[in-house]
Structure 1
Amino acid sequence: MPGPQPYRGLPPELVASPEFQRVCRERDFAQVFLLTKKKAGVYPSRIAALCGMTPSRVGEIMAGRRSLAHIDVIERVADGLRIPGAMLGLAHRPWEIPATPTEPMRTADRSSASVGQADVTEEGGEPSGIDDLLTLADGKVTRSTLVALQSSVEDYWRRDDEHGGASLRPAVVGHLRYVTQLMTGADGALRRDLQSLAAELARLAGWAYFDARQFSTARTHFTQALRLSRGQDDYLFMANVLSCMSLQATYDGNPADAVALACKAQDSARAAGDQPLVMSMLHMREAFAQATLRDSVACHQALDRSRDAYELSRGREVEAPSWVRYFDESKLIVDTGIALARLGEAARAEPLIAEGLRRESAAQQRGRAFHAFWLATAQLQQGSLDAACESASLALDFTASLDSPRVAGHVREFHGRLAPYAREAPVISFEQKMREVLG
């Protein structure tokens, strides 16, 4: 009798289903295994073999008599069943991250398959997923393929802006993997365009992992984006990636690195020519980092440069890149307030953040959630407990429609600052709402 068929991974429709994503997020492995059996036809004995467990242990987990808590076992499940690490709250798994192609690879020449081999094939050297099958079937890449992929990237950015980036991670990484494979079958101008698209997808993946507060994996993808952009002399793109890395370094408690990255981004933008709006945003990134360092003089100097560059950008005939157009006057105002709040200058920060929040579009849910949090922070710094809890509750209202652990983390950090006022009515009311929204 023939042996069991090589395992190809879970069906894409199962991985993408809200139910499966929910049980993975909750680490409800009884339901993970039950859905794997029901929807993918992978029975307990096969699950056990794939995940390095005994069949009896898998049976006990499915019956609810045992649970999984050790991170090494959870990682074995992710790797065995090919569940993206992000879905289980893990770092990106090694098999998910494709290497950067360095030269065209012939499908038939296995000896030269030095790039992304683990991602392209599974047992027996056969395609491991639908993307690989589509790549092999296509035969060649056309300009229309590139246009369609670029449209997908634009849609991802829109969805990130409206709902947060955490839930986009599996799809974005899948597209990144697909594009890096397409690069092996293209040459000339089309290959360069695909490489630029792969760089943008890597930046988007980095941003999505940053929004999920998985900073190490985010840094991996940002670095990949820089590597892919090397040799293309796209200085504005490199400035964009470096600005993202600067912001992440600020969040990750490395403000000195954040300053260095922001300054490097400014140098890159200057090499691209006259781009005052880009420079305004980059000076603001530096201001955030200087504020975290508590360097008041350097922070205010960066804020002045940001404001001056923004004024220069008004009425310019040269259109700014699309990715920086979000940085309008409202954003300049609210970010100035946030930098001042980071410095502890709450009285000056509060009216600026409030004004920026008032001006913002209702569609900018994540931005409004962040800004409501910073408004609450400035109000709490001034001892206005009622107003602070009201603003924090507003942040929760916006958070309810987002999948952004970065926003949720901010709200929880704010809650920690309320500990000295735990018996106060506004705090009790806020805590009740936080439990309802965040669990």
Structure 2
Amino acid sequence: MEKTSPWVDPHLRAAWAQGDWAAILREYRRAAGISQTTLAGLAGLSQSDVSLIERGKRVVREAAVMERIAEGLRVPPELLNLDPTSSWAPDPELSDRIARAHATGRTDTRSADWIARVLTEHRRAEDDGAGADLWPVVRSQLDTVTRLIPGASGPTADRLLLLSAEHAHWLSWVAHGQRQYGAAQAWLGVAHGWALDAGSTDMASWITRVRSYYQLGAGDPVRALRTAEAAIGGGADLSPSAASIASHTAAMAAAAVGERDRAHRLADEAYAAALRTPEEGDRPGWLYWLSPTRARLLLGEAAYAARDWRRAADALGDGLAELEGYPRDSAFYRMRLEDARRRS
């Protein structure tokens, strides 16, 4: 798959998952920056056909037309056999494939390279609330990655295992957002195992941190604190950004159990660690968002949880202005800021 392919775009992939042909053509044109006439030439349609389909005046029903469009628009293989009705829970077959990792063999990782790039776009799309729409897409991507593992060995197998863990974590996060709590825990469990198999201390810590986040949200701060401490346990083996987010989660749990001094200490440690990797390229892919601005907001969030209103207002006010492209996060932190200012 060429690097310039429009199919890296999450909105186009979500349209394909939904089988919405009008949206598929519109989103493809937008992502590719082409006209209806150019798209018509690619898909084996007339310009008037493209216009009618996009406006909902013509419905694509014929299998031959669907196949012609898919071939002409070079739909990636992992999208061709989606099952939008699949269960939220992990398929046991995935673990069977993982169990055969590090076998002797050679695997062409071009598909994995492509899917790793696409997952980066899916992470950003999930920030905008598009996770549920992309669920079947990511399930299918994970299926593609795990099929490569039995033929891989050594560092290649480790890389594929880590990519599998990243997908499983994403699926857990989206399932949790859809209140599929059992499935979310199941995906988190397999993700953690795959991260350990891959030898990724950062990913194992991150997944443990997410488990703590789930526990805190479920009203169990004591267990959340214990779990967050385990996420920090990698110590010197953790990257600064992974250590930062684990310490922040522990700070939130410490505040919830009333240990304010401990919460402040952990929050300060988290902020200092985050500032050690200010550039996105120096952080693990799943922590792309942990910029200095975000770290400042997390510092304010921890202060808010510890009921230190003045400190919370100062930190949140510093970072909020840079969240214009993230409406959900902006609304969340703005509410915290306004409340902290009232209380300070």
CA 150–325 in structure 1, closer or farther in 2 if over 3 Å, else same: closer
Q: What whole-Å deviation, never above 9, does each CA across 1:138-172 have from its counterpart, x for those lacking one? A: xx952212211212212211212344533322221
> Does 1:83 find its partner at 2:85?
yes
CA 166–379 in structure 1, closer or farther in 2 if over 3 Å, else same: farther
Aligned pairs (5 A) from 1:415-430 = none
Q: What whole-Å deviation, never above 9, does each CA across 1:240-271 have from its counterpart, x for those lacking one? A: 22222222222222222221222212122523
Task: State the SS of the aligned residue for 1:304.
Answer: helix
Q: Distance in 1 between matches of 2:292 and 2:300?
A: 12
Q: Report sequence identity in percent.
A: 19
Q: CA deviation at 1:104?
A: 4.2
Contact preservation (8 Å) 2:278, 2:292: no
1:229 to 195, 215, 223: 195
Which position in structure 1 is the counterpart of 2:307?
344
1:330 to 293, 296, 305: 293
Q: CA deviation at 1:288?
A: 1.1
Which position in structure 1 is the counterpart of 2:132?
166
Contact preservation (8 Å) 1:165, 1:212: no
Q: Distance in 1 between matches of 2:242 and 2:89?
A: 34
> Does 1:371 find its partner at 2:340?
no
Q: Distance in 2 between matches of 1:242 and 1:296?
A: 22
Q: Distance in 1 between matches of 2:258 and 2:207?
A: 25
Aligned pairs (5 A) from 1:203-222 = 203-222=169-188
Aligned pairs (5 A) from 1:29-40 = none
CA 276–13 in structure 1, closer or farther in 2 if over 3 Å, else same: closer
Q: CA deviation at 1:320?
A: 3.6
Aligned pairs (5 A) from 1:179-190 = 179-190=145-156
Q: Distance in 2 between matches of 1:190 and 1:306?
A: 32
Task: State the SS of the aligned residue for 1:344.
Answer: coil
1:300 to 249, 261, 264: 264
Q: CA deviation at 1:82?
A: 7.1
> Does 1:278 find its partner at 2:278?
no
Q: Distance in 2 between matches of 1:373 and 1:247?
A: 20
Contact preservation (8 Å) 2:205, 2:231: yes
Which position in structure 2 is the counterpart of 1:74?
none
Q: CA deviation at 1:224?
A: 0.7
Q: CA deviation at 1:286?
A: 1.0
Q: TM-score, normalised by structure 2?
A: 0.66
CA 300–82 in structure 1, closer or farther in 2 if over 3 Å, else same: closer
Which position in structure 2 is the counterpart of 1:101?
97
Task: State the SS of the aligned residue for 2:97.
Answer: coil
Contact preservation (8 Å) 1:15, 1:83: no
CA 333–170 in structure 1, closer or farther in 2 if over 3 Å, else same: same
Greater Cα radius of gyration, structure 1 or 2: 1
> Does 1:148 find its partner at 2:150?
no
Q: Which runs of 5+ in 2 are unaligned?
A: 1-13, 22-59, 64-82
> 1:373 is matched by which residue type in structure 2?
M
Q: Distance in 2 between matches of 1:82 and 1:165?
A: 13
Contact preservation (8 Å) 2:304, 2:340: yes
Structure possessing the higher relative contact order (Cα contacts under 8 Å, 6 or more residues apart): 2
Q: TM-score, normalised by structure 1?
A: 0.53
CA 168–96 in structure 1, closer or farther in 2 if over 3 Å, else same: farther
CA 326–315 in structure 1, closer or farther in 2 if over 3 Å, else same: closer
Contact preservation (8 Å) 2:215, 2:221: yes
CA 170–380 in structure 1, closer or farther in 2 if over 3 Å, else same: farther
Q: Which runs of 5+ in 1 are unaligned?
A: 1-11, 20-37, 42-80, 86-91, 106-139, 383-439
Q: Distance in 2 between matches of 1:147 and 1:245?
A: 28
CA 40–169 in structure 1, closer or farther in 2 if over 3 Å, else same: farther
CA 247–93 in structure 1, closer or farther in 2 if over 3 Å, else same: closer
Q: Distance in 1 between matches of 2:95 and 2:278?
A: 43
RMSD: 3.5
Which position in structure 1 is the counterpart of 2:214?
248
